Amino acid sequence: MIPDSTTLEILRYKTVAAAEEMGLTLVRSARTIYIKEVADFSTAIAGVNGKFFAYPEALGVSAFVDLDLNPSFKDIGPLKPGDVILSNLPYANGGLSTHLPDLQFIKPYFHEGEIVAYGWTFAHTSDIGGGVPSSISPRFSDVYQEGLQIPPVKIVHEGRMDEGILRIYLSNCRSPETNLGDVKAMLAALDKGGQRIADVIAAHGAEALVASQTMLAEYAADKAKAVLKRIPNGTYEFWDYLDHDFVSQVPVRIRCKVTVKDGAIDLDYEGTDPQLMSAFNVPTEGLRHPYLTLRLMHMITSHDPSAPLNHGLMDTITAKAPKGTLINPEYPAACGVRHATVMRLIDVASGALHKADPSLVPAAGGGTVLPVVLAEPDPVTGLRRSMVIQSIVCGSGARDGSDGVDGRESGLSNTRNSPIERTEDEAGVMIEEYALRSDSGGPGRWRGGTGIVYTIRILKDDCAVLARGLERFFFTPWGASGGRSSAPCRVVLNIGRPDEKQLNRVDMLEVKRGDTLTLMTPGGGGFGDPFTRPIEEVSYDVERGFVSEASAERDYGVVIRKGSVDQDATAKLRGAHQASEGFDFGQNRKLWETVFDDELVTRLNRTLTRFPASIRGRKRRSIYEDVVPELKAEGHFNIADMAGRAETLRAKLADLVAALEAQETRA
Amino acid sequence: MTTTRTGWRIGIDVGGTFNDFVAAENGTGKRVFFKEPSVPSDPSLAVERGIGGLLARAGIAASDVELVMHGTTLALNSILQRNGPRLGMVVSRGNRDVLEIARSRMPSAFDFTAKRETPLIPRNLVFEVNARCLSNGEIVHRPDEAELDRLADEIRAADLKAVAVMLINSFRHPELEQLVAEGLRKRLGELPVTESASIWPEMREYERGLLAGLNAYIQPLMKSYFDRLESRMRGLGLTAPIFITTNNGGTVSLQTARARPIDTVLSGPAAGVVASVKMAPADLRDHLVTLDMGGTSTDMAVVMGGEPEYTQLAQVGIFPIILPVVAVTAIGAGGGSAVWIDAQGILKIGPESVGSDPGPICYGRGGERVAITDCYLTSGILDPTTFLGGRMQLAKEPAVEGLRKLARALNLDVANPAEEAAAAALKVATAKMAVELSKMLARRGLDHRQFALVAFGGAGATHATLLAEEARLEKVVIPLAPGTFCALGASLADIRRDFARSLGVLLTPAGDGFSRVADAITDMMKESLAWIAGETDSGAALSFRVKADMRFADQAYELEIFVPEAMREQLDGAALLELFHAEHERLYGFADRAASVRVSTVRLAIAALNETQVERVLETGTAQSSGTRKVYHKGEWVDAALFRRADLRSGFAVSGPAIVEQDDTTVWIIPGWQATVEPHGNLVLVPDDKTA
C-alpha cells in the first residue's frame, strides 16, 4: 500500500528513530574514545536505492546524510539475509569512508527474500595500523602508510562471522581488544536497525516501507528546493587557501564555481590544486560527496529545520571535483587529515553563496579544529603514551543579523571540550589559561566570534605536544559585506619569556619541563561595515573584554576612555570613515595574489591535468618554488618582500605556465 | 520521621496553574485531595489557602498534621526566566571564561543560526584571583592579603548581591577555595559567598562552578519564600516540620533547603516517579515506565528494580546539573502540542505548544491553533461538560471547526473529516511518543515487553492505552488520583541526600590503593550521619547506597558500579575490583583482571526511609455504567461505556471501549483492552490477548 500523508509522517518518525536506536546501541556497547566522547560515528538506514532515507537528528556525525552505498556493492556479489559488508578504503567504497580508521559496515535488511532497506554504520576506531599509533599523520604520502586497506568484503556471511578476515583485521591494529569491542557494537547496532525495520513492516507492510523511501526523499527535496530557490540565478566563483600542505611551504588553493538556475545548484571545483603529497587529500571519488556539498546542506537545514534529513535534500545539487585534485585524489593518495581540507571546502562554498546573496550564509568561521595531543612518558613502561588533552575550536563567522559565536563552531564536529581538571588529572600539564581570545573576532556590523587561547605548562620531562592540522596562520578567515577578516592563528612557545618563540605550524613539538605552549585560534570573519555597528554594542563588547578599547577605536570608530564612550570623538571618527564593502581576505592573501593570481593559477592547474596525477603535485611545487625560492625552506619566506617584487615574479610565473602549456602532453 | 505514630501528612505540589494538595492519614490509608489556583505574585499565599481548604475538606485540625512535604518549581522558574540577583564569580587566573566556553558545544550541528547560551554570569562579573593548585594539591599560587584586598575591592565596586568561588582542582583540594572565600567574607561582610566544593565536590570546573553559581543565584528568592511559607504555616497553627522535595526524589528540611536550594530545582518530575514506585502494584514495580503528561509537557522515566533511575546529565534549560537527579526524558508532545500542516501538506505535531493561555481552541480563551486536547474532545474521548470534574467547560464546536479546517487542508474527503483529522493527529502524536519511549529503553538496552506504563498528569490517563498499544507495552496502571500524583509523591518521599568524593585512585590488580576509597566512604558516612541527625530525630530506618565510577586506566569510558548494601561494611579492594570486572563482563563480554583500574568518584546516598502506609484498600464491589459516549476510534464510531472513578470498587472489570471520568482526568480505554480495579485502587489495563 502507498502510505497516505499521515502514515508517511509516522513512518518518518519510526525510521528515523530506528536509525537513532542503532546509534544508541552503538554508544552503549562501544569502547573507543572516538565513539564515547568525540561522537565520531554515525548510523543510518538506506532505501533499496542505496541512499539514506532515515538519518539521526542529534546523534553522531551530522555530515554524511548524502553518502551513497552503491559503490560498496559493486564487487560483492549477491547479498543474502544475515550478510554484513565491511570496508574502509575510500578508493574502493566510493568515498563512503574518507580515511582508513573509519570502519564502514552495511547490512541488507530482507523481507520475504527481497532487500527492503540497508542498515549502515561507521565509527572512527582507535587504530588501523600504519606508521604511527592511531594511524594518522599529516606527513604520510600514501595510503599504504596509513594502515590496513579493506575494500568491501563480507565480514559476516548469512549470520556467520568470517573469522579469517576478523583475525587479519585484528592483527593489524594496535588496540585489537578495543577495536573488537567496537566491531561488535557496530554489528549490534545493525541488528537493532533490522529489528526496527521488521517492526515497521509488521505494522505498515513492506510495500509502504519501500514506497516511503522515495516519498520521504521527495518530501525533503521539496523543502530543500524552497530554500535553494532563494539563491539568485547566476554564476559565482570563489577560492580559498590552506596555509600549506604540511610537507612544504607552498599554499594550497581550492576553487569553486557555483552555478544556480531556479534552485538547481552546480558546484564545479575546477581550478583546484592537484592532489597533495601529504595526508590532506579528500577522496570523494568523483561523486556528489557530502563533503563537497556540506555547506549547502547546512544552509538548507538552517533555513528550514523541519526538513527531513535524507538524500532528497541534495536532489537538485550536482558537484564536480576533477580527478587528481586534492578533493578527488587518485589512489593511493594519503587522506588521514582530510578534515583540515573539509573545513576549507565549507569556506569555499560559503564564499560563493555569499556572492549570490550575503544574507544566506555566515562569513568564514575560524576554519580549524583539531585535537591537541600530549605525548608523555609512562611512569611504568617509560614508553611515551599519548592522550588528547583538548579539542581546540575557533569562533564562528558573523552573518547578516547576528554576531558569530565566541569560541565555538559546529561546522564539522560538535564535540565537547575536555575540562581542565580532567586534563590535569591525567596528564603532566597545568592549563594556565583557557579563555576567549580578545580582539580575535573579525570586526563588522556583526562581529565574528572570538577564537580561543589555550596555554599548556609542561610539568614533566621528555614530553611532546602534537597539534597537527592547525590552520589559518597565514590566510585569515575572511569577512564579508564590508566585515573584516579575523585574527590569524598564533602558536607561541614560552610566551612572555626571553626565549619566546613564534611557531607557524606544529607537528610533534618536543617540550621541556617548565615550557609553556600557547595556542591562539582564529576568530570568525565579521559581517557588514564595522563602523555601522551600534555604539552600545561596541561598548558592550569592550565592557566584557571581547574587544579592546584600541580595537574599538581603530576597527569600529568608537572611542572609549575608561569605560565610557566619547561621543564627540566617536562621531568625528565615524564621520570621516569611508564605507567598507565586499570581502576582506586579509593582507597576506591580497599580497599573495599579486603574484599567484586566479588567472595564472587556474591556467596552471588546468595544464597540470595533462600529467599523471601522482606527479602533478611535485610539478606544481617546483614551479612555485622556482618563482619564490624562499618557499623552499621553512622560515625564509616573507610575503612583503615577495609583493615588493610582484611584477617580476608574476611575469616569471606567467612564463613558467606558458612554457608548461607549450609542452607536449604527458611529457 | 515517625513511622509508628498515626497522624496526617500533607503533600504539596506547586505548579504553574494549580497547586495540588494531598492529605494522607498514616495507618488508615485515608486520602483527601485538593486543588488551589496558583498565585504567581505570592506563591506561598496559594499554599496557605490550599492548606486551609484541604484541612476543611479532610475535616481535620492543624494539630492533626505531623508532617508537611512541599515541592516547588519556584527555583526552576527563576533560573529559566533569569530573574535572579546580580551575581559574580571568582575563578583562578586564566579561567575567566569558564562560563562563556562552557563545554564548547553548539545547540545544533545542522543549524548555523544557532547561538550559544547566555552565560549565567557575564564575563565582566567574573573575577580572576591569583590562587591555583594542581590536581595533587600542590599550591602554585597562594593569594596574599594584598591580592585578596584587591579582589574584594573589585567585587565591592561591581555592586554584587552574591558571589560564587570556583577554583581549579577544588573538588579534591578545597582548602585554597575556602581560603579565598573566607578572605572575602572577612572583607565583604554580609555578601553571601558560596564555595563550589561545598555544593558538589566533583571534577569538571564548568559544571561545578555553575552549580555553585546557580545555588547562589536562587538562594535569596528561595530563602524569602521559605521564610514566608514557614510563617504562614505557623499562622495556620501548623507546628509540624516542613520538608522540601528534592531532585533525587527525596526531601530535605527547610534548613537544608535554605542552604542548598539547588537540590530542589528538578524535584517536580522526580516526585511523580517516586509516587509511581510507591503506588504501583508490587508485582510490577521492578519494570515501570512512567508517563507524566500535562498540558504543555510530557515526561517519561524508567524504573528498574523498584528504584528510580538517577542521572548526572540532567539540565535546567541550557545548564547542565551534575547532581544526581531522577532521570526523566521530556518529549515534545503534550495536550497543548500544536497540530498543523506544513507546506508539503504533511500533518505535524509540535514542537510548539499552545501553552495554557490561550491554550487549545476548546479552552475558549482565544486560542486559534488546534492542539492535542482539541483532538481528544473532537473524537469524543473528552466530554466538554465533565472535563476536570466540570470545573472547566470546554468549547467543542470551535475545536471541531478547527479540525475540519485541517481536514480540508489535508484533502480528507471522508464522511467525518474533523474526526478523521483528529484521529490522524492522535496517531502521529502517539507514534512520536512511542518512538521516544522506544529510544529511552534502547539507550539502556531494555526490552519493552517487560514494562508497565504508569500514567498520570492531566492527560496521561487519556493517552495511556493509545501509547501502550503503539509501544507494545502490555500493562498500564492508572493511579487513583493521577492529577495530584506528584503531591502524593511528595508526601511519600524519603529524607535523602547525595554525597560524592572525586578521588582518581589507581587500584592495582591486587587491590592496592583501596585505602583512599575506604577513607572516602568513611568520611561520607560521617558527614551524612551528621547531616541526617540535623534533619530528623525520628529514628527512622536509614539506608546507604554506595557507588563508584570506575574504568580501566587506559580507557576513557566509565562504569558506574553499585556496591550492594550487604557488602558495604566488608568492602575491600579485591571485592570492589570484582564488582567492576563482573559488570564489564556483563556489558562487554570480557574482563581484563590483570589491568589496573581507576576509581574516579565515589558516591554515597543516605536516606531516612518514609514508611508511610497510604495504600488504601478498596472494598470489593461492582459499578453501574452511567451511560455511553460515542468515540471516533480507528475510522469508526464506537460506543464507550461511561463510568465514574469514584464509583469503582476493587475487582471491578470492564472491557474497552470504555471511559472512566474523574475530577482530575479522563481515562480512555481503547477497544481490545480490559481494565480491572485492584485492591489498592489502581486501575490496571491489559490487552485482551494478554489477560490471564
The predicted structure's pLDDT at residue B530: 97
B479-499 in b/e form (b: 16+ CB < 10 A) is bbbbbbbbbbbbbbbbbbbbb
SS (H, E, C) B415-462: CCHHHHHHHHHHHHHHHHHHHHHHHHHHHCCCCHHHCEEEEEHHHHHH
Instruction: Please report the sign of the dihedral spanned by the C-alpha atoms of residue A582, residue A587, residue A593, residue A598.
Output: negative
Return the higher-pLDDT residue of B305 and A553: A553
**% of chain B exceeding 70 in pLDDT:** 98
Please, are residues B295 and B106 in contact by the beta-carbon 8 Å criterion?
Answer: no
Instruction: Return the C-alpha cell found at B246.
Output: 528534592
B546: pLDDT strictly greater than 80:
yes
A119: pLDDT strictly greater than 60:
yes
Region at B361 (left for phi over 0; alpha for psi -120 to 50; beta for the rest): alpha
Same domain, B137 and B99: yes
Choose among B347, B348, B439: nearest Cβ to A17: B439
Stretch A321-342: mean pLDDT: 95
A634 touches B: beta carbon within 8 Å: no
Q: Give the start-to-end residue ranges of the domains of chain A.
A: 5-223, 363-529, 587-662
B517 falls in which pLDDT band (50, 70, 90)?
very high
How far apart are the C-alpha atoms of B317 and A263, rounded to whole Å?
Answer: 38
Q: Considering its fold, how many domains does chain B have in total? A: 3
Return the higher-pLDDT residue of A386 and A351: A351
Show the domain range for B111: 81-216
Same domain, B528 and B578: yes
User: Residues 537..556 of A with a Cβ closer than 8 Å to B: which?
Assistant: 543-546
A396 touches B: beta carbon within 8 Å: yes
Of B263, B254, B256, nearest to B229 by C-alpha is B254
The predicted structure's pLDDT at residue B616: 66
B159 touches A: beta carbon within 8 Å: no
Name the DSSP class of A461.
S
How far is CA B582 from its chain centroid? 31
Strands (E), B295-410: 298-304, 307-308, 310-311, 314-316, 319-321, 325-326, 329-331, 337-341, 347-353
Same domain, B85 and B211: yes
How far apart are the C-alpha atoms of A487 and A502, rounded to whole Å?
Answer: 15
B615 falls in which pLDDT band (50, 70, 90)?
low
Q: Which of A309, A353, A434, A513 would best serve as a mutation to test chain B binding (most B beta carbons within 10 A)?
A: A434
Same domain, B15 and B92: no
CA distance B668 to chain A (A): 22
Q: Bridge-partner residues for B498, per DSSP?
A: B605
Same domain, B546 and B577: yes
* Interchain CB distance below 8 Å, B101 and A435: yes
3-class state of residue A440 by DSSP: coil
Longest dimension (CA), chain A: 81
How far apart are the C-alpha atoms of B576 and B550, rounded to whole Å?
Answer: 10
Please, are residues A525 and A561 in contact by the beta-carbon 8 Å criterion?
Answer: no
Single residue among B608, B625, B655 that ends a domain in this structure: B608
CA distance B280 to chain A (A): 28
User: Residues 77..106 of A with a Cβ closer than 8 Å to B: which?
Assistant: none
The predicted structure's pLDDT at residue B622: 87
B613 falls in which pLDDT band (50, 70, 90)?
low
B552: pLDDT strictly greater than 90:
no
A581: pLDDT strictly greater than 90:
yes
Side chain identity, residue A216: L
The predicted structure's pLDDT at residue B590: 73
Choose among A17, A24, A420: nearest Cβ to B205: A420
Same domain, B58 and B89: no
B387 in a structural domain: no
Choose among A408, A459, A545: nearest Cβ to B123: A545
* Interchain CB distance below 8 Å, A33 and B557: yes
Same domain, B576 and B520: yes
User: Residues 432..451 of B with a Cβ closer than 8 Å to A: which?
Assistant: 432, 435-436, 438-439, 442-445
Same domain, B87 and B33: no
CATH of residue B20: 3.30.420.40
Length of chain A: 667
Q: Which residues of A touch B589 (CB under 8 A)?
A: 184
Strands (E), A521-666: 560-561, 564-565
B365 in a structural domain: no
CATH of residue B555: 3.30.1490
Single residue among B52, B71, B90 that ends a domain in this structure: B71
DSSP class per residue in B159-193: T-SEEEEE-TTTTT-THHHHHHHHHHHHHHTTS-E
* Interchain CB distance below 8 Å, A192 and B556: no
B5: pLDDT strictly greater than 70:
no
Q: Which residues of A touch B439 (CB under 8 A)?
A: 17, 20-21, 24
Please, are residues A425 and A494 in contact by the beta-carbon 8 Å criterion?
Answer: no
B586 falls in which pLDDT band (50, 70, 90)?
confident
Question: To the nearest whole number, what is the mean pLDDT of chain A?
Answer: 94
CA distance A63 to chain B (A): 9
- For A653-667, B51-65, B236-250, B412-426, which range has the lowest pLDDT when averaged over its residues? A653-667
**Strand pairing report for B475-478 and B298-304:** unpaired
Stretch B372-383: mean pLDDT: 96
CA distance B614 to chain A (A): 39
B1: pLDDT strictly greater than 50:
no
The predicted structure's pLDDT at residue B37: 82
User: Residues 343..382 of B with a Cβ closer than 8 Å to A: which?
Assistant: 343-348
pTM metric for this prediction:
0.93
B98 touches A: beta carbon within 8 Å: yes
How far apart are the C-alpha atoms of A501 and A544, rounded to whole Å?
Answer: 30
A667: pLDDT strictly greater than 60:
no
Name the DSSP class of A286.
T
Alpha helices in A205-289 (DSSP H): 206-228
The predicted structure's pLDDT at residue A399: 96
Q: Which residues of B touch A399 (CB under 8 A)?
A: 112-113
Instruction: Return the C-alpha cell found at B523.
Output: 568520611
A573 falls in which pLDDT band (50, 70, 90)?
very high
How far apart are the C-alpha atoms of B226 and B169, rounded to whole Å?
Answer: 33
The predicted complex's ipTM stands at 0.93
User: Residues 37..56 of B with a Cβ closer than 8 Å to A: which?
Assistant: none
Instruction: Give the sheet arrangement for strand A317-320, strand by strand.
Output: A234-242, A252-261, A264-268, A317-320
B413 in a structural domain: no
How far apart are the C-alpha atoms of A617 and A601, rounded to whole Å?
Answer: 13
Longest dimension (CA), chain B: 84
The predicted structure's pLDDT at residue A276: 96
B50 in a structural domain: yes
Question: To the nearest whole number, what is the mean pLDDT of chain B?
Answer: 92
Same domain, B24 and B88: no
Single residue among B216, B251, B270 that ends a domain in this structure: B216
Same domain, B598 and B501: yes
Stretch B603-611: mean pLDDT: 92
The predicted structure's pLDDT at residue A181: 86
* Interchain CB distance below 8 Å, B105 and A406: no
How far apart are the C-alpha atoms of B364 and B379, rounded to whole Å?
Answer: 18
Length of chain B: 692
Stretch B227-239: mean pLDDT: 95
The predicted structure's pLDDT at residue A369: 82
Total beta-carbon pairs less than 8 A apart between chain A and chain B = 192
Alpha helices in A120-254 (DSSP H): 163-171, 176-204, 206-228
How far apart are the C-alpha atoms of B62 and A240, rounded to whole Å?
Answer: 77
Q: How many CA atoms lie within 13 A of A170 on its CB side?
A: 16
DSSP class per residue in B61-83: -GGGEEEEEEE--HHHHHHHHT-
Side chain identity, residue A220: A
DSSP class per residue in B211-274: HHHHHHHHHHHHHHHHHHHHHHHHHTT--S-EEEE-TTS-EEEHHHHHH-GGGGTTHHHHHHHH
Please, are residues A497 and A417 in contact by the beta-carbon 8 Å criterion?
Answer: no
B112 touches A: beta carbon within 8 Å: yes
B112 in a structural domain: yes
Region at B539 (left for phi over 0; alpha for psi -120 to 50; beta for the rest): left
A664 falls in which pLDDT band (50, 70, 90)?
low
How far apart are the C-alpha atoms of B162 and B120, rounded to whole Å?
Answer: 13
3-class state of residue A151 by DSSP: coil
Same domain, B67 and B15: yes
B54 in a structural domain: yes
Instruction: Give the sheet arrangement for strand A452-458, strand by strand.
Output: A429-436, A452-458, A516-520, A490-493, A501-503
Choose among B103, B106, B124: nearest Cβ to A410: B106
* Interchain CB distance below 8 Å, B106 and A25: no
Q: Which residues of B touch A420 (CB under 8 A)?
A: 95, 168, 205
Q: Bridge-partner residues for A392, per DSSP?
A: A370
pLDDT digits (tens, 9 = 90+) for A175-207: 888 888 889 999 999 999 999 999 999 999 999
B192 in a structural domain: yes
CATH of residue B119: 3.40.50
Return the higher-pLDDT residue of B568 and A484: A484
How far apart are the C-alpha atoms of A237 and A253, rounded to whole Å?
Answer: 13
How far apart are the C-alpha atoms of A107 and A127, rounded to whole Å?
Answer: 23
A504 falls in which pLDDT band (50, 70, 90)?
confident
A525 touches B: beta carbon within 8 Å: no
A532 touches B: beta carbon within 8 Å: no
Instruction: Return the C-alpha cell found at B305.
Output: 528494580
**In whole angstroms, how far apart are CA A520 and each of A392, A497, A505, A645?**
9, 17, 12, 32
